[in-house]
């Protein structure tokens, strides 16, 4: 397909044909650069995006024309897609131009330049991007914070924390700041401050538990007192039964005393002697008769 046929496609009302034309212009780099830069004014953002992509695929030859348009053109949409194309080329000269673009008076240029430098991970741009953390525009501040997280700039940690503290009530910015800090330092070291905070939290938890226990004990005692009162009021006084005095049980002591075997033997001898005497007396009486 000739260059003239491609130009006809770019004038088509169908945006898909215009996108195809941007893709086909890569085969004609000498003529394509200026045509693609002009395509940044297209109504359809997909066509503009494809134009930027085609310029980045052309490579180094498109850097100077893109930088010139970035400097000379005041249209923010054009500048946005110029930065997008330069970012994909990722050249040292591109990085320098994007760093210079951070000083632009247009907030959109500052925002897109910071984003591009972050995606390119240009460490040399850290100081300039840190200055944007106090920018008046919210979008510039967020893109700068994201860029510092992408670059993983450790020296920007304090600046990001300061910006996070300053953003009172801004939950979205704080989320962006937290993500950036995690990228820079995924496992921060626990210092003395964190230990103090944890001890304070533990102490507060203990005090709350104690107070809860006290309140529960008080409630339980009150409940028991109320229950006892109600029981006393409900129960009627019962008549006391007359109790007869119980007779004391008297245990008779056994009169029989236990005798030892020696004593028993002596008693037997005495009995035998007495019996022997009686027999003798009886025999004497019988003889006399």
What is the predicted pLDDT for the residue at 248? 47
Tell me if 1-89 shares its fold with 118-188.
yes
What is the predicted pLDDT for the residue at 154? 92
What is the predicted pLDDT for the residue at 221? 57
What is the predicted pLDDT for the residue at 252? 44
Domain boundaries, the chain: 1-89, 118-188
Residue by residue, DSSP assigns 25-93 as GGG-HHHHHHHHHHGGG-SSHHHHHHHHHHHHHH-GGGHHHHHHHHHH---HHHHHHHHHHHHHH--HH
- Return the CATH number of 1-89, one of 1.10.3720.10, 1.25.10.10, 1.20.120.420, 3.50.7.10: 1.25.10.10
Helices (runs of H) and strands (runs of E) counted in the chain: 14, 0
Q: pLDDT by residue (tens digit) across 242-273?
A: 455 554 444 444 444 556 666 676 677 777 77
What is the predicted pLDDT for the residue at 253? 44
The CATH number given to 118-188 is 1.25.10.10
Is the whole model's pTM more than 0.75, yes or no? no
Token reading at 189: 């070291």
List of the chain residues with pLDDT < 70: 188-263, 265-266, 289
Half-sphere exposure of 52 (CA within 13 A, CB side): 24
What is the predicted pLDDT for the residue at 220? 58
Burial class (CB in 10 A: 0-12, 13-18, 19+), 95: buried
What is the predicted pLDDT for the residue at 273? 77
């Amino acid at each position: 397909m000739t260059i003239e046929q491609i130009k006809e496609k770019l004038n088509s009302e169908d945006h898909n044909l215009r996108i195809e034309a941007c893709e086909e212009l890569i085969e004609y780099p000498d003529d394509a650069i200026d045509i693609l830069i002009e395509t940044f004014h297209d109504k359809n953002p997909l066509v503009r995006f494809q134009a930027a992509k085609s310029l980045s695929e052309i490579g180094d030859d498109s850097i100077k024309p893109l930088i010139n348009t970035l400097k000379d053109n005041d249209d923010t949409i054009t500048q946005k897609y110029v930065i997008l194309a330069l970012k994909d080329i990722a050249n040292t000269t591109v990085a320098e131009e994007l760093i210079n673009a951070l000083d632009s008076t247009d907030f959109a240029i500052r925002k897109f330049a910071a984003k591009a430098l972050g995606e390119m991970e240009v460490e040399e741009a850290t100081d300039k991007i840190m200055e944007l953390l106090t920018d008046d525009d919210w979008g510039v501040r967020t893109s700068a914070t994201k860029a510092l997280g992408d670059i993983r700039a450790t020296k920007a940690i304090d600046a990001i924390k300061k910006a996070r503290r300053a953003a009172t009530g801004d939950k979205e910015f704080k989320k962006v700041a937290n993500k950036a800090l995690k990228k820079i330092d995924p496992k921060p070291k626990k210092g003395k401050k964190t230990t103090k905070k944890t001890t304070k939290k533990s102490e507060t938890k203990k005090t709350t538990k104690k107070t809860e226990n006290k309140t529960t004990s008080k409630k339980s005692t009150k409940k028991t007192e109320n229950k006892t009162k109600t029981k006393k009021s409900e129960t009627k006084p019962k008549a006391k039964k007359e109790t007869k005095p119980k007779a004391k049980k008297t245990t008779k002591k056994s009169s029989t005393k236990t005798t030892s075997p020696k004593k028993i033997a002596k008693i037997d001898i005495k009995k035998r002697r007495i019996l022997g005497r009686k027999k003798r007396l009886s025999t004497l009486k019988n003889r006399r008769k």
